[in-house]
């Protein structure tokens, strides 16, 4: 287990490290540099953040992501704990229904939202029949909110179910034996035990919503969220420096969110999608 062993281990590392450096680390560094290649230099960051359009966009994206995260955590928390704790007829069916959308890319999610609340969507038909007016939500921030919810709920439910399964049911029984009401049991036992799972899955949900592109792209290209703006700047306006600067800002935000979650919950978390 001496020097030879270390040499072999080094040899095993080389291809992975080389590939990763060549196609991720260096390009990213290059991107950071090229954001400053424009006439404004590094001021481009300041300009892009203070520019009213970009600033509103950033704010929009942040608020939307936070709203999606909170809604997802509440809904998935209720359902996830419920599904781990109760047996009922058709539970396995419900479970497989909940996990089926796990592998949907953002574009498919966008299409699902169009089918649900789009111009020819189901909800529109139902509301027209009920109140005589078509309810169309898909092509706005509300549609995006629903789309991200659709995207996030399955992932978060899976994580929270795994976390809830690890909680010793005897903890709850102990709390109840000490006279705690169901509400207190949830507040004092269940939620504290779920906190690491809530933090890590919440961070994933937030980061994914910040960076998701496919859903917004499918729903409409004129919703002002950061990924769409980056895309338009780059492809339609050929404004490479601004696009680079904005994507660096976006990358930093998601990376910081995930790092904070990681340092709090102690596990590695990753964005999906």
Partner 1 sequence: MKKKSKLFYIQLSLTLLVCAFLIVPVVLSVTAGLTANYIVGVRSGLTLQWFGKVWELYRDTIFRSIMIGLVCLGCTLMLGIPAAYAMVKKQNRFTRIFEELLVTPLAIPGLATALALIVSYGRFTDFRKSWLFILVGHVVFTLPFMVRSVIAVMNSANTTQYEEGAASLGAGFWHRFFHIVIPIAMPGILAGSLMVFTLSIGEFNLTWMLHTPTTKTLPVGLADSYASMRLEIGSAYTIAFFIMIIPLLIAMQWVAKPPRKKVIPEKTELSTDLRRTTEMEKNALERNPIPRDRGREPVSGTSLRLENCSKTFPDGTQALKPFSLSVKAGETVVILGPSGCGKTTMLRIIAGLETPDPPGRVFFGDEDVTELPIEKRNVGMVFQSYALFPNMNVAENIAYGLKVRGLGAAERERRVSEMLEMMKITELRNRRVDQLSGGQKQRVALARAIAVRPRLLLMDEPLTALDAKLRDVLRAEIDSLLRSLGITAIYVTHDQAEAMALGDRIVVMEIARVSQVGTPREIYFKPQNRFVADFIGTLNRVTGRVEGKGLIVPGGTIPLEGISHLQPKAGEEFEVFFRPEQAEVVGPGEGHFKATVAASFFMGDHTRLLLDWTDASYLTIEAKSNQVFRKGDLVEIRIDPASLLTLRT
Site for partner 1 in 8-67 (CB under 8 A): 8-10, 12-13, 15-17, 19-20, 23-28, 30-31, 34
Please count the CA atoms within 13 angstroms of the CA of 247 that sit on its side-chain side.
Answer: 24
Q: How far apart are CA 143 and CA 129, in angstroms?
A: 21
Q: Is the dihedral of CA 264, 265, 269, 273 positive or negative?
A: negative
Contact 169, 81 (CB under 8 A): no
Residues present in the chain in total = 273
String marking each residue 112-131 x if it binds partner 1 according to CB under 8 A: xxxxx---x-x---------
Query: Could you say whether residue 111 binds partner 1 (CB under 8 A)?
Result: yes
Smallest gap, in angstroms, from Cβ of residue 185 to partner 1?
A: 11
Burial 14-40 (b: 16+ CB within 10 A, else e): eeeeeeeeeeeeeeeeebeebbbebeb
Smallest gap, in angstroms, from Cβ of residue 251 to partner 1?
A: 4
Residue 157's nearest CA partner among 226, 214, 233, 74 is 74
String marking each residue 130-169 x if it binds partner 1 according to CB under 8 A: -------------------xx--xx--x------------
Interface with partner 1 in residues 70-99 (CB under 8 A): 75, 78-79, 81-83, 86, 88, 94, 97-99
Give whichever of 56 and 181 is closer to partner 1, judged by the CB atom: 181
Interface with partner 1 in residues 198-227 (CB under 8 A): 207, 210-214, 217-218, 227
Query: Could you say whether residue 5 binds partner 1 (CB under 8 A)?
Result: yes
């Amino acid at each position: 287990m001496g020097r030879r062993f270390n040499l072999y281990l080094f040899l095993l590392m080389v291809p992975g490290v080389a590939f990763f450096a060549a196609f991720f680390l260096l390009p990213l560094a290059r991107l950071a540099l090229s954001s400053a290649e424009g006439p404004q230099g590094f001021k481009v960051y300041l300009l892009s953040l203070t520019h009213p359009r970009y600033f509103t966009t950033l704010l929009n994206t942040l608020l939307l992501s936070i709203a999606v995260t909170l809604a997802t955590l509440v809904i998935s928390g209720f359902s996830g704990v419920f599904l781990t704790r109760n047996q009922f007829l058709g539970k396995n069916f419900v479970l497989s229904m909940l996990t089926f959308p796990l592998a949907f890319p953002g574009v498919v999610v966008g299409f699902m939202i169009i089918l649900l609340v789009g111009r020819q969507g189901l909800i529109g038909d139902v509301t027209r029949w009920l109140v005589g007016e078509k309810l169309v939500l898909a092509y706005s921030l509300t549609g995006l909110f629903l789309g991200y919810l659709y995207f996030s709920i399955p992932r978060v439910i899976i994580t929270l179910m795994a976390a809830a399964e690890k909680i010793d049911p005897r903890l709850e029984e102990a709390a109840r034996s000490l006279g705690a009401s169901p509400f207190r049991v949830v507040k004092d036992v269940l939620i504290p035990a779920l906190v690491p799972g809530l933090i890590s899955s919440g961070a994933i949900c937030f980061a994914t919503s910040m960076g998701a592109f496919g859903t917004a792209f499918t729903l409409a290209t004129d919703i002002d969220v950061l990924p769409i703006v980056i895309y338009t700047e780059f492809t339609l306006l050929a404004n490479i420096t601004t696009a680079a600067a904005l994507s660096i800002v976006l990358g930093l935000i998601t990376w910081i969110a995930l790092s904070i979650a990681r340092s709090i919950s102690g596990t590695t978390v990753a964005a999906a999608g």
